Amino acid sequence: MLVDLGQISLEVSYIDGTKLESVANKYTFVWRKSVEKNKAKLEAKIRFILEQIEEGIAQDRDNGEQEQAPEIDSEELKERIKKLNESNKFDKKVNKAEFKALKELEKHQEKLEEYEQKLAMLGDRNSYSKTDTDATFMRMKEDAMNNGQTKPGYNVQIGTENQYITNFGIYSNPTDTTTLNSFISLHYARFGSLPKLICADSGYGSHENYKFLEQNGIQAFVKFPYFHKEQKRSYKQNGFLVDNLFYNPKGDFYICPIGQRLSKIDKKRTTSSTGFISNIDIYKAENCQGCPLRGRCHKSKDNRIIQVNHDLLAYKAKVRERLTSEQGLYHRSKRPIEPEAVFGQMKFNKQYKRFRHKGFSKVQMDFALFAMAFNIQKLWKNMATNLKKVCLTFYLPIFTLMHSFELKNIYKRRFKEQIA
């Protein structure tokens, strides 16, 4: 409807994210590190009991080499307990110790199953709330105690155009970097097309995101970390930084400030949390011994080693040129008054700081209703403003002219009265 009315085009998207608190309890939580630590301790207890009960396993370990104990699965443990019960049939009176150990093993099996369920619930997250298992503990800007306390919440991503909410996504991970690809896919799922241009802050600048945007033909005005820092004179004049070292693409080597060559010695592949693979080239200086600039260049005891992602550097060069262009300056200046203004209206003017439901599906319904109401109100204000402008443009001159004629008639009557 907004497109038909000419309010938006869906071709431009200004993207940003904020964290909204869940309605869940703040003090009932599950942490990954705690679960993994307790699970490891429980597995050690289970192995010790199994070694006591299964004499054959204990003898094999004494005769052979000690191998690293494999991770114990609750279903596998359940089957082993069942086989022990069927084969041995422990008598409580005759074999009290074995019977007691087996009963203890059954209790441990239930606890192990509980830990596995918690880890499955966590997935890629580090925490979740017991009263809202989809909510993750995150650091919020609204911190009443000012002590950095984490609260259960969701990462809300929005895309705006002319301060209308054109797209939104709810995520459980607190960082914005890993949400961009999914967010753009949501835009396509809702409208059947991708935006031609997006603008976002440095929280979205990554190798994976730049490649995704380029492959989909989206013009990206997305900053990368240290974009503003590298514009400063102190950064540009620091010849020891990797970005400022001279690079010879033909010979594939770098030159340090003193003129020594850093040759390529190796390469490696890194995998991000989302499974994205990056190729890193490693360069090493020939000899840093006795260099007068070594203290300013690096702190390693050996020769200097640098790691360079050439693909990412190429993307950063394109983005840098785009951001510093006239069009880039325009969109960069407009971005703070697009999603930031919407968040200000949402959180402070409308006091929408906390969800009213639990779970992803209900939270999405909650925010979708708010987004529609927000857009309708924004449309009504724009229409009222346009109507006022129309009235001032067309009707004010008419009213002024009529008023002037009326004043003229009044003066004429007064003049005639004075003459009479």
Tell me the per-residue pLDDT of 88-98, one tens digit each, with 9 for 90 and over: 555 555 466 66
Residue 135 belongs to a domain: no
List the structure tokens of 315. Answer: 């993307």
Q: Are 230 and 243 in contact (CB under 8 A)?
A: yes
Check residue 408 and give its pLDDT: 59
Query: Is the predicted pLDDT of residue 414 greater than 90, yes or no?
Result: no
Q: Are 109 and 74 in contact (CB under 8 A)?
A: yes
Could you tell me which residue, 413 or 387, shows the higher pLDDT?
387
Amino acid at 316: K
Q: What is the share, in percent, of the chain residues with pLDDT greater than 90?
A: 54
pLDDT in tens, 90-148: 555 546 666 777 778 888 888 888 999 999 999 889 999 999 999 999 988 776 556 66
Query: Is the predicted pLDDT of residue 369 greater than 70, yes or no?
Result: yes
Check residue 15 and give its pLDDT: 96
Model confidence band, residue 298 (pLDDT cutoffs 50, 70, 90): confident
Question: Of 129, 161, 189, which residue is a domain's last?
Answer: 129
Check residue 144 and give its pLDDT: 56
CA torsion through residues 198, 203, 209, 210, sign: positive
Nearest 5°: CA angle at 378, between 372 and 382? Answer: 145
Residue 214 belongs to a domain: no
Residue 313 belongs to a domain: yes
Inter-axis angle of helices 310-323 and 326-334, to 10 degrees? 80
Check residue 87 and give its pLDDT: 63
Residue 49 belongs to a domain: yes
Could you tell me which residue, 73 or 222, shows the higher pLDDT?
222
Range of weakest confidence among 54-63, 278-287, 406-415: 54-63
Q: Are 20 and 156 in contact (CB under 8 A)?
A: yes
Instruction: Compute the average pLDDT of residues 345-370.
Output: 93
Q: Are 180 and 155 in contact (CB under 8 A)?
A: no
Q: How far apart are CA 420 and CA 417, in angstroms?
A: 5
Question: Of 274, 302, 324, which residue is a domain's last?
Answer: 324
Query: Is the predicted pLDDT of residue 59 greater than 50, yes or no?
Result: no
Check residue 217 and give its pLDDT: 94
Model confidence band, residue 255 (pLDDT cutoffs 50, 70, 90): very high
Model confidence band, residue 152 (pLDDT cutoffs 50, 70, 90): very high
Residue 373 belongs to a domain: no
Model confidence band, residue 286 (pLDDT cutoffs 50, 70, 90): confident
Q: Which of 45, 57, 39 is nearest to 104 (CA)?
A: 45
For residue 289, with 0-12 CB atoms within 10 Å meaning exposed, 13-18 middle and 19 or more buried, which class applies?
Answer: exposed
Q: How far apart are CA 378 and CA 370, in angstroms?
A: 12
Instruction: Compute the average pLDDT of residues 82-87.
Output: 70
Instruction: Compute the average pLDDT of residues 306-323.
Output: 94
Model confidence band, residue 153 (pLDDT cutoffs 50, 70, 90): very high
Check residue 92 and give its pLDDT: 53
Q: Are 235 and 241 in contact (CB under 8 A)?
A: yes
Could you tell me which residue, 42 or 105, shows the higher pLDDT?
42
Instruction: Note down the domain range covering 49.
Output: 29-129
Residue 140 belongs to a domain: no
Could you tell me which residue, 274 or 87, shows the higher pLDDT?
274
Residue 35 belongs to a domain: yes
Instruction: Compute the average pLDDT of residues 365-375.
Output: 95
Question: Of 85, 105, 129, which residue is a domain's last?
Answer: 129
Query: Is the predicted pLDDT of residue 379 greater than 70, yes or no?
Result: yes
Query: Is the predicted pLDDT of residue 67 greater than 50, yes or no?
Result: no
Query: Is the predicted pLDDT of residue 69 greater than 60, yes or no?
Result: no
Instruction: Compute the average pLDDT of residues 79-84.
Output: 75
pLDDT in tens, 198-237: 999 999 999 999 999 999 999 999 999 999 998 899 998 8
Q: How far apart are CA 122 and CA 31, in angstroms?
A: 8
Residue 58 belongs to a domain: yes
Domain count, the chain: 2
Q: How far is CA 191 from CA 3, 72, 398, in A?
A: 11, 47, 45
Instruction: Compute the average pLDDT of residues 332-341.
Output: 92
Instruction: Compute the average pLDDT of residues 154-159.
Output: 96
Average pLDDT, whole number, for the chain? Answer: 85
Check residue 64 and give its pLDDT: 47
Q: Which of 242, 212, 233, 220 is nearest to 305 (CA)?
A: 242
Model confidence band, residue 61 (pLDDT cutoffs 50, 70, 90): very low
Could you tell me which residue, 251 or 300, shows the higher pLDDT?
251
Q: What is the pTM of this model?
A: 0.81
